[in-house]
Structure 1
Amino acid sequence: MNWSTSVLVSNGAPRWLQLAEIFRRAIESGEFPVGATLPTEAEINTQFGVSRTTTRSAMQQLVQEGLIKRRAGIGSVVVDTRVDQPVNQIRGFAEDMRSRGMMPGYQVLGCGMAPASLEATQSLGLPSGDQPFYVERQLKANERLIGHSISWVRPDIFGAKTPPTSEQLAEGSLYEWLRAELGIEIVGGVEYIEASLATQQVCPHLDVTESDPVLVARRVARSRQGLPIEFAIVTYRSDRYRFRVDL
């Protein structure tokens, strides 16, 4: 059904919510592909006989859902939908992207044994002075930049084994390497998620400007035996990523 042939019902949901649903379906069906501009507020007001307030409420709902962006001088533009991350699961970025039919990608910015922050040391339960394995990467899905991660892995799990190289980390998942090379499987842990603003340090790695909204996840990943294996700080672009709670 074309958006212009849709109608609002008088005894149904609020008119702004019905309007949002009409354009949500139009976007999901491909009637308005990524990059397309929705009709102007004036056109929508005339077509459906609604007020500017009703139309703006509907458009704001679509903005909150990550379906459109309001751009000055242009209007409401359809954007790529965000990647959903269930908050009741802990799994590697590569596994998560593949489960959605997307191709994970990495750009390694640095790795090796290095001093850790106090937060990382305490989260891993390491003695003062221990140097965990450190890896910093950009995270991509289908070649699209999604996030930036810094991970610290406890050093005592490697034994005589050489930690993964930057080439290995650019090609695959850290969790998959731990499972294949050390027999360590990440099965749980704890993750804290908060809304924040992009810092000067992370901006060049996310292609955003300072104070743009981002999502920051701090995670302690544990092995099947309950040992804390990794402490990670992952910063996601909020226009391309969101967390989902399954109830």
Structure 2
Amino acid sequence: MTLDAGSNPHHSPNPALQGSQPRYVQLAQTLLNEIESGHYPVGSQLPTEFELCEQFGVSRSTAREAVKRLVQLGLVVRQPRVGTTVRARTATTGYRQSMADVSDLYQYATETTLVIESRATVQIDAEQAQSLEATAGETWLNLHGRRHARTPSGEPAAPICVTELWLHPAFRSIQGIQGALQGAVHAAIEQQFGELITEVEQEIRAVALNKADAEVLGAPAGSPGLWVRRRYRNRMGQLVELATSIHPADRFSYTTVLRREWGVGGKGDAA
């Protein structure tokens, strides 16, 4: 049986869920409708993947993909050993990233599209060298672009950020980094050069969008933004890639889960 999410003439499908309507999109639309109608109020739990499979006669992968789309729309949040909790009644137009380790950055890259708009080798000056932990006069690869979230149908949405990347001179001949990218740049470095990223340092701070960035992002100049800088390091701790992104405040949110190891750091532990 095929789900008909658009059969109600008074409730048209959310634009973020329109497309060729594969099963996971139909299921996501149905769950979205039920969240918006209050069937699943904010703070309540969605059925588990197993329960969704039973209720809708779909595979585990279909149920998982449908819930992932709701996560991307900012409607629900998934937590280990807790389940899927409804966090909003209406979908957002941005991207919500949840990260626990380096591998989650690959997921971020595959769930969004980075459009490279310029590529140049740059002989860095003293100020740039300080940020890049390098020596003035070195020639690094500099990339500029915009990153877009993708709708469940695979189409790019409005840009969620402008991004600048710097790649170490050892990797400046990297191939395939142009136009629309559906994977991580650091993954391409690993694949082409045999390098291994073992650590990512992340710094986040609030900023006001300057006029140039605001124009590219279609946001008001001076409006709140989120500045995110990531330093990708290899096994020797050397900087391989520096990525700086600036997001409008309403198009990106970030969550992380901290777990306590019981017996570590509690009262009575040795100093």
TM-score tier after normalising by the smaller chain length: 0.5 to 0.7
Compare relative contact order (CA 8 Å, sep 6+) and give the higher one, 1 or 2: 1
TM-aligned CA distance change 1:148 to 1:26, over 3 Å: closer
When the two chains are superposed, the root-mean-square deviation of aligned CA atoms in Å is 3.0
TM-aligned CA distance change 1:209 to 1:164, over 3 Å: farther
In structure 1, what is the Cα distance between the partners aligned to 2:227 and 2:34?
A: 28
**Aligned 8 A contact 2:233 2:240 in 1:** yes
Count of residue pairs the alignment pairs up: 174
* Structure 1 portions without partners, runs of 5+: 1-24, 33-65, 68-76
Following TM superposition, by how much is the alpha carbon of 1:182 offset from its aligned partner in structure 2, in angstroms?
A: 0.5
Aligned match of 1:111: 119
* SS of residue paired to 2:148: strand
Aligned match of 2:136: 128
Q: With structure 1 as the length reference, what TM-score do the two structures score? A: 0.60
* CA shift digits 1:112-156 (9 cap, x unpaired): 211346554223321111121111110011112211110111103
Over the matched positions of the two proteins, sequence identity in percent amounts to 18
**Aligned 8 A contact 2:114 2:147 in 1:** yes
In structure 1, what is the Cα distance between the partners aligned to 2:108 and 2:161?
A: 13
Aligned match of 2:107: 95
Aligned match of 1:137: 145
TM-aligned CA distance change 1:138 to 1:192, over 3 Å: same
Following TM superposition, by how much is the alpha carbon of 1:169 offset from its aligned partner in structure 2, in angstroms?
A: 6.2
TM-aligned CA distance change 1:91 to 1:128, over 3 Å: farther
- Structure 1 residue aligned with 2:220, among 201, 209, 213? 209
**What is the identity, as a one-letter code, of the residue corresponding to 1:83?**
Y
* CA shift digits 1:39-79 (9 cap, x unpaired): xxxxxxxxxxxxxxxxxxxxxxxxxxx77xxxxxxxxx944
* CA shift digits 1:173-221 (9 cap, x unpaired): 2112101101112221311100111111211221212011110012211
* SS of residue paired to 2:211: coil
**Aligned 8 A contact 1:90 1:221 in 2:** no
**Aligned 8 A contact 1:116 1:152 in 2:** no
In structure 2, what is the Cα distance between the partners aligned to 1:185 and 1:163?
A: 15
In structure 2, what is the Cα distance between the partners aligned to 1:28 and 1:121?
A: 53
* Structure 2 portions without partners, runs of 5+: 1-30, 39-73, 76-88, 151-155, 259-271
Q: With structure 2 as the length reference, what TM-score do the two structures score? A: 0.55
Following TM superposition, by how much is the alpha carbon of 1:241 offset from its aligned partner in structure 2, in angstroms?
A: 0.7
Following TM superposition, by how much is the alpha carbon of 1:244 offset from its aligned partner in structure 2, in angstroms?
A: 0.9
Aligned match of 1:152: 166
Rg larger in structure: 1
